[in-house]
Structure 1
Amino acid sequence: MPEPYPRFWRQRVAQEPMFLALDDLHWADPITLPALRSMTRDVASPLVWMLTRTTGSGDCPRLNRLFDLLERDGAIRITLGALDRRAVADVVTDVLGAAPEPDVLALAGIVDGNPFLLVDLLEKFKGEGVFQIADGRARMAASPPHAQAIMQERLEELSARTRYLLQCAGILGRSFSVKDLAEMLGESTNGLLPMLEEAMSAGIVEPVGHELTFRHDLLWQAVVKTIPDSVRRALHHDAGKMLLKRSGSAVHAAAHLIHDASRGDTSALLRLDQAAREVLRSSPQTAADLALRALELSDSTDPDWFGRAATAVDALTVIGRLSEAADLARAALGRAPPLHAPRLRCALAHILLLSGRPADAISEAESLLAQQDIPNDLRGIAEWAMFWGLIWLNDFRKGRQRAEAVLADRERHTDAAVVGALLLLARFAMVDGRGADSFTHLREALRITDSGTAEAIQRPYTRLRAMRQFDAADIAIQAAEEEINDLGLTVLAAQPVDSLDQALDGYERIGALLDAARVRARLRALGVRRRHWSQSQRPTFGWDSLTDTERAVAGLIAKGMTNRQIAQRMFLSPHTVSTHRRGSRSL
């Protein structure tokens, strides 16, 4: 986010209270989130922030961490549930322009109060003539029990071969490649063309990029629900087998492996294990789903149960579900054989450290280090966790002795243990006022972690996340953000400002004051200042106090039109209409 924005906000909040709302943060890129964290911390009251997101979307671990930090700093978190019945009725009234009858509300209820799906469903069926408007009430023109039935009726209008093709396509996912579909059906791509054309003409699927996709989740679900469970599982088996054979990797077949596996199916469970291990680094959420599914289908006597539990613990830790990871680790430790216990105990120490419980983490690490014949890599991780816990607690008396012992016999310790020891000594030296010694230890730790790894230079954020150094990772992101902003502003400065001037003129003519302010801020960032006051004086109150746009909006409001209807009439967004509507309330 460019630097002029927070400077502009600081100037504004010094003059008057200000409210700032940022919506759909789940679509924010990794650079924006640390910038928001910095700005919410640095820009003082009376600036009021409202940040919104959709749970389960975008980068959940990073978003969860941002919201947790904000809440810790005093922010109020409000979790919005699904729309209730009255809110659903209000949305239906707004979209259809008429109050809904019970049958319309029953149709709207199938989306479980999701506002996006509700509006999409209503507008789609409105265009298809599903609703009848009379006497200010909206009724169903036909009386289907629910939308699924309507969609299945649409599917029944297709030929049997096309319905079969769509069923196989539905198994591949909402989006699918024609190549995968042809291979699964054992036909050539040319042979599928007539059926694909029929499905596209009927509005069931549409091309998106290099794939075809079902036009709506509900359409896709309607297709999949026409397949009996036993047949569906067999089709998932075929799809997973096809993808495994093609790439040799279980990553692409993961979604099908979850559906294909059943209790006691050893080969299917082993494929789930393989997929979970392969995707752990690139997609820990998927790895957690796979490992937990494999655990669910495993018998308690299965010798592979503990390996699956360890993988699930690792995946849950990476995605930030620390409480679940700790509970599973403790449950597994309660019955783990000596072979698996060290890995689980090491993971638990790590989880406790990330959970802000350094004393408990040290206790777990020390209990592991007291054991004989544990693998060197686990011993090194346990020592690393112990040193970080001691740093957290500022226990330098105990930590210094251990760190010096590790450095005195480096050959017997892993790089992780040596780095942990160096970091503790660096912290101790800094607290002790020996800055030069502290930087010497830090440089040596950096040399060890960076040696021989191009990725450490090119992608420090990935490396730091892998090392669980989240604060350092945020610093790396902020440094990259500053670089990007500098480059971006350099490019913008070389561009003409004509287009921004045109945008400013257009926003001012329609009365979009907030958008005009945004453009002026962009111009100021380029060194161009445009005054934003008018020489003409309008009364403070009354009809003449309104802009032309506000008067037009007020006139349409008087006719009983909704914000959405006004927006369509005036070619504005509903949000802009809301702004003008608030202006008209001064009358």
Structure 2
Amino acid sequence: MSRNNTYSPRNRMPSRHLASPVPPSLPTRPEARAAPPLLGRDRQWQLVQRLLDAARSAPRRGGVLLVEGLPGTGRSRLLNDAAALAARGGFSAAHAAADELRRAMPLAPLAAALGQGPGGGPQSTGAGPSAPQGGGPPGNAALIERLSARVDELLRSGPVAVVLDDLHWADAVTLAAVRALVTRFAAQPVVWLLARCTGEGGSTVERLFTVLRESEGAELLPLTPLAPRAVAELTAQRLGAEPAAELLAYVEGADGNPAALVALLDGLAEERRVQIVDGRARLARCPSGGLPPHGFGALVRRRMEPFHPTTRLLLDVAAVLGRASTPDDMARMLGETPAAVLPALREALASRMVVCEEDAIAFRHELVRHALLATIPGPLRGALHRQAADMILGRDGGVQRAAAHLVHGARRGDGQAVEVLRAAASAVAAAEPRAAAELALRALEISRPEDAARPRLFRVAVEALTRVGPLPRAVALAREALAGPLPADQATALRHGLSRALLLAGRAAETAPQDPPPADLPEEALVADLHGLAALDVSAAARRAREETERRAAASSGLLGVLATTHWCAGRVGEALRVARAAVARAEDEAPGPGTSPVPPRLLLASMLTQLRQTAEATATVELLAAEIEADGTPVLRGAPMILNACLALARGAPDAAATEATEGLAAAEETGMALLSSLGGRVLAEVALRRGDLAAADGHVERLAGRVAEQRAESDEARALTALCGWLAARLAAARGDLTALATALRTVHGDRRALRRLLVAEPAAAAWLVRAALDAGDRETAGATAGLAQGLASDNAEVPSLAAAAMHASGLYERDRWALRRAGEEHQDPWARASAAEDLGCLPGGDREAAVDALDRAMSGYARLGAERDEARVRRRLRRLGVRRRHWKHAHRPTSGWASLTATERRVADLVAQGMTNRQAAAQLFLSPHTVGFHLRQIFRKLGIQSRIELVRLHADAVEGPRGAA
């Protein structure tokens, strides 16, 4: 049906098709302006405004604007908004659109646009501007004259805007009338906005647009694809958050078409395939295998409806064949000659869905190809893939290309398909492990239990999955294969694959290394076994690693990595660094390939440097590690550099960046099942939460770390070390809450295993001093002295490691009340939080000079503030208040008068704590304020949020956390 809307100063009836109805409060003076109607169309909108301004200010001047755009580019929306703007500006705006159904009715679009009287009622019930008074219908010339008279009538009220859309559907008489009327009113304030779909309508409308440009000075206004900036802005608008780079790369498949982009984004949102992480929209893991949203696929299908059926079939076949395929292959699939499919090919190329690439036809965007595939019924899609595989094998025997189709189309029990898939998987295993895993898994799925290829398929799949993940799948496959009869060489390889997968999955204690190892055990299998043994028993692993090293003229990088690990766990930190650096150097000299160690030596070195706060070398090493993981094709380790960067960000005093990196690293590790550094990532998140005073979040992170302990064998060295770490974090959490019972329990856990405590003091520079302080506060000087002595022993054994020396001075200074030691510790600490802690301890020593104490506490407070350690900063501020010193700690900010955004930082912290169920006194203890001050803040919160009870606060707080405030 045609759209029929005539606007005038006395008749402002907005069309139901307008995307943005005109608010009644908008001014109607000619100077009024509306915001640009579409993102990325600022230039086009300015041209519309300029043309309307010229017609309004110069009484004898009009103009013509020719709008062209593909479907979905916003052509009709632009014209709708232009008509509304013209009406607001005092124009009589006549607006209609041609359509396919009324093409047989001459002049229908013009009659629909101009067929209403100035009062808003129709002049007639006929199709034209008025019904004839005499006999039969008037001729076309008479109808055009009546339309001309109608324009004259509208001009008596002021300037006129005639807006005609979809002229590619208009009949020849309408197009001729448009040309005649434009010429007739060229010297009048009549603005013509004429639009058509690019490439549609044939030669008649093409000739009209050409003549209007050449004879009437019409300006062409093409609606090109949105620029990247506009795409990003529209994406942020639809999803409610700034898009991450990978999301923007994904939506490039919409080709800058606004309607396609909106369909894609809304589909992603409806199918919950977008996550808001730290204020940025990111693609979530997709259970549908990465297929586009259903709505986007339906839109692509709708765009193909005008195509000839042969063209639609050609595009479906091309989608099955792959991103690029030759006309010969398309023709063979259709049972035709290339000449026979030429018309369909031309139409497909004209649609811009596909383009020529040398001798092939390629989809411009993989997203569009996947959308087409998703809309082909599954059985038919599988049959087309089988047909493609048969064609390839029958023509040139291209195993890998055929296998790519058999993955999707092979039937269960097809022995030839199994063998093709196995051969292809083996061929690409080294260079493309993800593809190898997909091919091998599909072959296993369709194979029979008695197929001879199954052992080799298990091996390829397990080896590939240990490089790309998910690791639990690799473990399950290896165990399934090893449960049945296997050739000896395949069984050995699968046992090695299982050990490697368990090690990377953080389940090294489940491996069972043979003692003594078989003489013919491959080096990489031996290294994996020794890493597993190190998780169980460090001393046994060190002994075995030394024996294997002595048997060789030169130890491999894998063996050196095991030795470095055992030195680290035993507290020989300097030696661990030396051997780890040697392992990295040896790895660089070894032959290229997957490597002899499941744990890259550079990963071990980066982890050690990071925990020792040797940030400069650690940062450079992590950068090299990330590049190495990318080059080696081992995405299973992709989360490791992120987690290490999180530790470095925390050491630099960037808690927000640390939390982001840790969250993303843990997500990447969870996706692949790689848990090597998961405890380190959890430590970072718990530390950030503790420093911010977010005890509920810290509690959650500690619980998750404790859950990791439960997954380990209780007697393993790895489990004992993780237990000590959880105990230390739990102790700090209990101390923050003032829970003395829980604190005592946690401290018993930490001090109950001296060997595990030693590993904790190596990895955490501030742990020794904190534990000494906690013991002294509890009146337990014996435990405090033992802890200080342990820290001193580590420093003596590793004189070349500055972080251990500083930690020992700090612990000793607390225990001995030694000002000089505390001052030196504050200067020598590599970790900025430990540095601030030493300054705080120095300022709290009794019996000292008040001015010196204030100076030390000022340094501590500044240090904590730079790190975002709000709770620690508040504690030091209270200490200063007790010394009679008050430091201004608030910043002026422009805030609204009500709602969450109106709360100050302190009020938000009070709201968070009260929403967790704390009393005023408990919240005051957390914030180092008086209960009276917390009560004052709580009254301000109630006033600003318009509530009267804590129950309402809890409910509003939950809503805010789930909404934008929590997403950020």
Relative to the length of structure 2, the TM-score reads: 0.31
Relative to the length of structure 1, the TM-score reads: 0.48
| Greater RCO, 1 or 2 (C-alpha within 8 Å, sep 6+) | 1
The structure with more radius of gyration: 2
